[in-house]
A and B are shown apart, each in its own frame.
Chain A
Amino acid sequence: MKFNLFRVFVVLLFLAVPVLGVWTFVDAERWKMWFPEGVTTYAGEIDFLFDIILWMVAITFVGTEFLLVWAIWRFSKKEDGKVTYTHGNHTLEVVWSAVPALLLIFIAFSQMGAWSTIKMNFPDEGPYTVDAPMMEVIAGQFDWWVRYPDEEGNFRGEDVIDVPFDIHVPVNTKVVFRLKSRDVLHSFFVPKFRLKQDAVPGMSIPVWFEATETGSYDLICAELCGWGHYKMAGRVHVLEEQEYEDWLSQKRSELYAND
């Protein structure tokens, strides 16, 4: 009897883990800690996948936590008599291996659609394609540069436009760009686009997205790339088609500015 209070305390302490854990998710939106809105055509697919996995993890997490709490309560009671030994339960082991395996297979298949949309099905017509991308984004320690081709679409021509930090793209257009790295691994991550792609030195990786809302969105490096990783930020400005054209032609005229 004299240990009862301590048992209750320990059980409540461990019970707090699933309760608070679930509460942080349920209440996250109120604290503005949930996902920012998605502003690309495929953002919904990514969020859907996230939700599936979140539910699977949530059910497993809550189940195992309650099992744990129950076990703490049940077996912390001092009982007389000998303890029993067990050498395992073959059926149980098969079940707890097979169920996660099936879940993994389920996840593997359910993500294939999103993967092929984002990483494989590049637009083959329209203003920008893999062979004629809109821009090159060049990651380097510790900044982002974007290069727009000259009017013939040549990235090695005289009149290419190099812009640091700010990436400008038109809204409701399938934008294709090539991602490069100047030195080490970086990762192009725009949370609101639900887009993340590693930049690998020596490779020129095609990436596409179609933004659905105008605005300015944060771009960050999502691969630890050195001491200045934290400051490797950029911004993606999604503009109306006409605004984008105006911006581009202004940049073209600035090339031959005489200031």
Chain B
Amino acid sequence: MVVLLATTALVTPLSCKLEPRVPELVYSPNSAEIEKNDDLAQDEAAQAQLEGLLQFLFGTPQAPSYLSLQGWGDDEFYPDDWGYDFVATDDDWWDRLVDSNRRAYARQIEAIKEGDFDAVTESYEAPGVWDAWLDALANKPDDPDAEFDEGGSWRDYAVSIFENYYPTLRDSAELYRTQCFHCHGAEGGGNGSTAEFLNPRPRDYRHGTFKWTALRDKSRPRHEDLFRILAEGIRTTAMPNFRRLTDAQIHGLVDYVRFLAVRGETERLLISDFNEDERLSTQMVEENYQLVIDRWHKAADLVITYDGEVPRATPERIEHGRYLFTTPGEEGGANCVACHGTTGLGDGPSVNDPDNSVDDWGNPIKPRNLQSGTFRFGRRPIDLFRRIYVGINGTPMPEHIGQQITDSDGTVRPLNEEDVWDMAFFVRSLSTEPMESAGTSGPDREHSDH
């Protein structure tokens, strides 16, 4: 009896002790790439040098930071604060972020306004805001409403810490560790512990290529594109939405994903450029780093927009879209049938083409079943317009704008924006009923598609 009681008394507090189960992260080297470069694969000293170099450029998962190259400050480019300036076309994002912070930290803000500073306790995974608050509390003047820091009172300043919270890379790395790491891996290689079980597999950021963008030239995505992926998730994949986080946290995660992509791509370029003569020269490192940053930096200029209102689907447009879709390339159509098949089921002849079987990440390609109604990056007309316009990065889905097509009357001309709309409407019509037949569906095809 005594033994039993003693054991219970001993075990209970131990099992109740909450230890974080997520381990401390390390950035591991991209060994698959290293193996491809014989010079580097046989040179362990160079591999160690590369690892040190990457740490010098990008820090560790506990202290991630971009190394600023000379001249960036002159151009007013501060990569650690990249997120602020990178939201290209959306003007209200900061207001929404502040709103979202106000909701998330309502309890703390209320307590500060009422002067009950002990009631300001930590909440949400935002270490940065907590540190800033403790710092402010340490510097609190006797009268919280006395003037403080140019104009405003200390109380206003304290409230603004919560309202204007935008996570640093370091905060976001911590959040990444608890939310993203188990699929996407510490260095964003899409090789976390749960990745094996997922189809499609999690994205490997280190290519720098992201599928879902609204940009020309196979560019890097905008901040907004990645934000949308995090806020809405990707349907029928294991990527869920993260709306339970605050806007600020999602913006921060986007910054961190971009950071990992820049780091990973720089690493890939350095590995592939490494050779016996030049080794890892400063010039080579700087050039590659600058190149990767530039690829991300120009993204905002290339947004695909349509001048004018989004058109509405009409039977004529759908019919023309059907013609372009179903006519093979050699007969002057847009050649969609080659992969998606005549009925859009994703069963075209090129599915069996061995040269065309994997995407840039080495994952098997499966053309979308367009009858399922699932469109990974949205089913609004503008989403499908952009998809057909520019294709899907890293996959055989090509850019269609400007492609040579033959009209039914025999004229040869480049495919234009109106044609893209027609194809978009045809594709949408494959998964929707005509508007006349109302009522709900049974268990519909979209939700059983997997």
Contact = CB atoms under 8 A, between A and B. Distances in A.
The reply to whether chain A is a binding partner of chain B is: yes
B442 A204 contact: yes
A42 to B, nearest CB: 24
Contact of B244 (A133, A180, A231, A255): A231
Interface residues of B, number: 43
A204 B310 contact: no
A31 interface: no
Interface stretch (B18-26, B43-51, B123-131, B376-384): B376-384
B381 A256 contact: yes
B447 A180 contact: yes
B241 A183 contact: no
B313 A158 contact: yes
A90 B306 CA distance: 86
B439 A154 contact: yes
B442 A183 contact: no
Interface string B415-450: 000000000000011011101011111111001101
**In this complex, which of B236, B240, B244, B379 has the most chain A Cβ atoms within 10 angstroms of its Cβ?**
B240
Given A140-B447, A157-B433, A180-B447, A152 B438 contact: yes
B305 A258 contact: yes
A139 to B, nearest CB: 9
Contact of A157 (B241, B243, B432): B432
Nearest to B89: A259
A258 B313 contact: no
Contact of A182 (B90, B305, B309, B447): B447
Interface string A114-156: 0000000000000000011100101011110100011011111
Interface stretch (A17-25, A61-69, A160-168): A160-168
Interface string B62-90: 00000000000000000000000000011
B432 A158 contact: yes
Interface string A161-193: 010111000000000001011110000000000
Interface in A200-259: 201-204, 227-228, 231-233, 235, 254-259
A50 B440 CA distance: 35
Nearest to B194: A227
Interface residues of A, number: 47
Contacts of B310: 256-258
B435 A145 contact: no
A183 B440 contact: no
B211 interface: no
Contact of B380 (A149, A202, A257): A257
A10 interface: yes
B233 interface: yes
A255 B382 CA distance: 8
A202 B447 CA distance: 9
Interface of B is mostly: loop
Contact of B309 (A153, A154, A256): A256
**In this complex, which of A13, A158, A165, A256 has the most chain B Cβ atoms within 10 angstroms of its Cβ?**
A158
B301 interface: no
B238 interface: yes
Interface of A is mostly: loop
B233 A143 contact: yes
Interface in B89-131: 89-90
Contacts of A232: 240
B440 A136 contact: yes
B38 interface: no
Contacts of A254: 380
**In this complex, which of B438, B444, B450 has the most chain A Cβ atoms within 10 angstroms of its Cβ?**
B438
Nearest to B373: A156
B235 interface: yes
Nearest to A151: B435
A145 B89 contact: no
Contacts of A141: 238, 240
Given A142-B240, A143-B240, A158-B313, A258 B232 contact: no
Contacts of A138: 447
A239 to B, nearest CB: 15
Nearest to B238: A141
B382 A154 contact: no
Interface string B185-209: 0000000001000000000000000
Contacts of B89: 259
Contacts of B443: 180, 201-204
Contact of B306 (A133, A162, A233, A258): A258
B192 to A, nearest CB: 12
Nearest to B303: A259
Interface of A: 10, 13, 131-133, 136, 138, 140-143, 145, 149-150, 152-158, 160, 162, 164-166, 178, 180-183, 201-204, 227-228, 231-233, 235, 254-259
Q: Which 6 A-B pairs have the closest CB atoms?
A: A165-B243, A182-B447, A156-B433, A256-B310, A143-B240, A164-B241
6 contacts: A132-B440, A149-B440, A162-B379, A165-B241, A180-B447, A182-B448
